[in-house]
Amino acid sequence: MPTITVNGQSIEAQSGMSLLQACLEKGIFIPNLCYLKAMTEPPASCRLCFVEIEGQPDPVAACTITVADGLVVSTDTSAVRQLQRTALQLLLSVHDIDCKNCPANKQCALQDLAKFLKVPLKNKPTETYLREPAIDETHPHLTYYPNRCILCGKCIYVCQTRHGQSSLSFAKRGFDTVISFYGALEIDQQACDDCQQCAQVCPVGALVMKSG
């Protein structure tokens, strides 16, 4: 088993495991949003799980590093925190901050990270840039709030894993990227009804089961 040093503390990790997973399992918290333990190829898209590794000039995403014997890692340097805070501020700048009326209130990943990284939820210099607040109601069971979504892709991953192919997908590109239900009316409604995993995995209340 490879032994690595994290913040001066020596820990043993399972070989083949990602650095992020190894740290999380030993109770060393590294902010992350798009990572699920079961993923073999994490998307590395949220850009929060930065750490510094001795010998590398810039912080790297811990989910992309496979543990190797002798890695010396710091999770709490100023360079790491700087990037994490900027990434979180960017996500918050396009997030509809209306916690009172959000089902994810008090169990929201963004709230947790804001507390951890000491970033205010509303931030003056990075004003908010919301998309058109078009809420997608086309799915028979789900409602999608693009202005809450952080595009972590966990919903697509769980749907894909559970059903072999996902009835959710990223659609469009760039700043306009959304989760799409395109063609949802044609899918097996019963399967969706019994599953609900996508709504459960959503860390920010962007995918919500329609009540009733």
> Binding segment for another protein among 3-11, 102-110, 163-171, 196-204 (CB under 8 A)?
163-171
Query: Does 174 help bind another protein (rule: CB under 8 A)?
Result: yes
x-or-dash string of contact with another protein, 69-108, rule CB under 8 A: -------------xx--xx--xx-xx--------------
Cα distances from 99 to residues 43, 103, 109, 167, 205, in angstroms, run: 27, 8, 12, 28, 10
**Total binding residues for another protein by CB under 8 A?**
46
Strand partners, 169: 180
Which of 12, 54, 76, 176 is close enough to bind another protein by CB under 8 A?
176
Which of 154, 155, 166, 203 is close enough to bind another protein by CB under 8 A?
166
Which of 20, 28, 67, 168 is close enough to bind another protein by CB under 8 A?
168
x-or-dash string of contact with another protein, 52-71, rule CB under 8 A: ------xx-x--x-------
Query: Does 132 help bind another protein (rule: CB under 8 A)?
Result: no
Judged by the rule CB under 8 A, the positions of this chain that interact with another protein are 41, 43-48, 50, 58-59, 61, 64, 82-83, 86-87, 90-91, 93-94, 125-126, 129, 138, 151, 165-177, 180-187
